Amino acid sequence: MSLAEFAAAAADFPEPFRLLVRDSVASTNDEVRALAQGGAADGLIVLAGQQTAGRGRRGAAWFAPAGESLAFSILVRPTAAKALWPRLALVAGLAAAEALETFGLQAGIKWPNDVWLSQRKVAGILVEAGTDFAIVGIGLNVSTTDFPPELAATATSLQLETGRDISRAEVLAALVSRFSRRHLQIDHDFDAVVAAVRLRCVLTGKCVSLTTAGGPRSGKVDGIAAGGELLLHTAGGLERLIQADEVRLLSP
């Protein structure tokens, strides 16, 4: 990892974002949590050259070979009501999708926290809340070309999709630029976020199964509601889901 490359990109980050690079950490989310509890200010970004215990939703391990991906977490101290903080996953996914589109890619959003290219996952979002702060963790596959067998059919990278070697620092800069604007919209102008997500939603019209806090659900996705909820037609009627731990597409 070229520290100079990332330092140059970080010099142009919008306020208040600033970058702290670690060679190796267990988890960037855990690193940011400790710094936040120590009083770190809004906008701190911790990027790791390597994560030894990176995780996705439900504690699943996140595959991120050193030098081939972006693994970073953003400290946010929202002024919006805490009930709106779950929207950060959606705005982070949108920011990632918009950033990838600047490289000529067509990105999709798999509600609530994945970004797809060509029907395969290229990025995942993990939002965790503290008492007065939130952590937005992002993992994005940049130059990986060899995935483990269990991921080979469902994961992709920027290099696989473009055939080009794209700078991780450039991708990070593009994503932070979009996130700097989008994360402010969780409590005002959220309709603009929802409209942009709807254009990229890969689940609309599809049959899915979900794992939620209230138990498993299955049905057909009717789209994204005004508050960012997933609209799901189930056997019991139309449901609005705020969050889900796992969303699987079902065969027609």
Contacts of 237 (CB under 8 A, 6+ apart): none
207-249: CATH topology = SH3 type barrels. (2.30.30)
Average pLDDT over residues 220-224: 97
When the pLDDT of each residue in the chain is averaged and rounded to a whole number, the result is 92
Outline which parts of the chain fall under CATH 2.30.30.100.
Answer: 207-249
pLDDT of residue 62: 59
Contact between 109 and 94 under an 8 Å Cβ cutoff? The reply is yes
* DSSP three-state, residue 81: coil
At residue 187, φ and ψ (nearest 5 deg) are: -120, -10
Average pLDDT over residues 127-147: 95
Q: Give CA angle at 100 (96, 105), nearest 5°.
A: 140
pLDDT of residue 50: 84
3-189: CATH topology = BirA Bifunctional Protein; domain 2 (3.30.930)
Outline which parts of the chain fall under CATH 3.30.930.10.
Answer: 3-189
Question: How far are the Cα atoms of 48, 126, 153, 185 from residue 55, in angstroms, in the given order?
Answer: 13, 8, 20, 27
Tell me the pLDDT tens digit for each residue of 37-77: 999 999 999 999 887 776 555 445 556 676 789 999 999 99
pTM (two decimals) = 0.93
In this structure, the dihedral spanned by the alpha carbons of residues 167, 168, 173 and 179, taken in order and rounded to 10 degrees, is 140
Least confident range from 99-108, 206-215, 217-226: namely: 206-215
Strands of the sheet containing 120-129, edge to edge, are 18-25, 44-51, 69-76, 134-141, 120-129, 114-117, 107-110
